[in-house]
Amino acid sequence: MPHLATYVGLVDHSEKTLAESLRVVGKAQAQHADVFHTCNTLAAMSDKHRALLEPIVRRYGEESGGEAAEPERLHAAGLAEARTGALGLLRDLQDLHVLASLVQTSWTVVLQGAQGLRDRDLLDLAENAGEDTARQLSWLNTMMKATAPQALIVAS
């Protein structure tokens, strides 16, 4: 099952990228208390998924994107550095949304594979993780909607 391993690797890598990026944005925007704390809460969700994925990785192996049979074309390297200011926060939230979408679709594909394999553990994990990713996306969407008008119209 070499291609499942590719996707296990992809989901693990994309969760890692998302968690790191959430922490970068949270830290850089720490003056906004809700951004700081919620980014850390959401990052912890991704950490948990990766921890639960470990036994699965042992079962099926893991291939990192770069060396996989199907090489990366779209490089989602994550946010090594956050922006500043109101518009910067909006852009950061949008980038996080892109990263979380990649996580979500990766879990969707893994879930399909788990169904084919009748792997109950992986099925449960993919379902639960997918629900958490939906929560991450929902918060990012909520924040973008709330902060956009001020950032676009009156922020310096």
Partner 1 sequence: MVGVRGRPADVANHGRLGPKGLYGSTAWASSPDRLTRPMVRGGGRLVETDWGHAMGRVVEVSRRLLDSKGPLTHGFYTSGQLFLEEYYTLAVIGKAGLGTPHMDGNTRLCTATAAAAFKESFGVDGQPGSYTDIEFCDSIFLFGHNMAETQTVLWARVLDRTRSDDPPRIVCVDPRRTVVAKEAERTGGVHLAPRVGTNLALMNGLTRELFANGWVDEDWVARHTIGREDLEATVDPYSPERVAEICGVLADDLRRAARIFGESEGVLSTVLQGFYQSHQATAASVAVNNLHLLRGMVGRPGCGILQMNGQPTAQNARECGADGDLPGCRNWDNTQHVAELAGLWNVDPLTIPHWAPPTHAMQIFDYADSGSIELLWISGTNPVVSMPESARIRRVLTAESCFVVVQDLFRTETTELADVVFPAAGWGEKTGTFTNANRTVHLSEKAVDPPGEAKSDLEIFVMYADAMGLTDQDGAQLPGWRTPEDAFDAWREASRGRPVDYSGLSYDKLRGPTGIPWPVNENAPQGTDRLYGDGVFPTDTDQCETYGHDLLTGGTVTEQEHRAMAPAGRAFLKGAEYVPPHEEPSDDYPLLYTTGRTVYQFHTRTKTNRSRSLREAAPDAWVEISGPDADRLGIAEGDVVRVESPRGSIEVQVRVGAVMEGAVFAPFHYGSWDLENVGPYERHRQANELTMTVWDPVSKQPYFKTAACRVTKVRAGGGPAPAPTTAASAPVGADVPHTAGGDLTESRVLDETPAYLNDPSVPGTGGA
Positions touching partner 1 (CB under 8 A) are: 31-34, 37-38, 41-42, 44, 85-86, 135-136, 138-142, 145-146, 148-150, 153-156
CB of 36 to partner 1, least distance (A): 8
CB of 95 to partner 1, least distance (A): 18
Q: From 55, 36, 24, 73, select the one nearest 119 (Cα to Cα).
A: 55
CB of 75 to partner 1, least distance (A): 28
Residue (10 or 42) nearer to partner 1, CB? 42
Residue (59 or 97) nearer to partner 1, CB? 97
CB of 93 to partner 1, least distance (A): 12
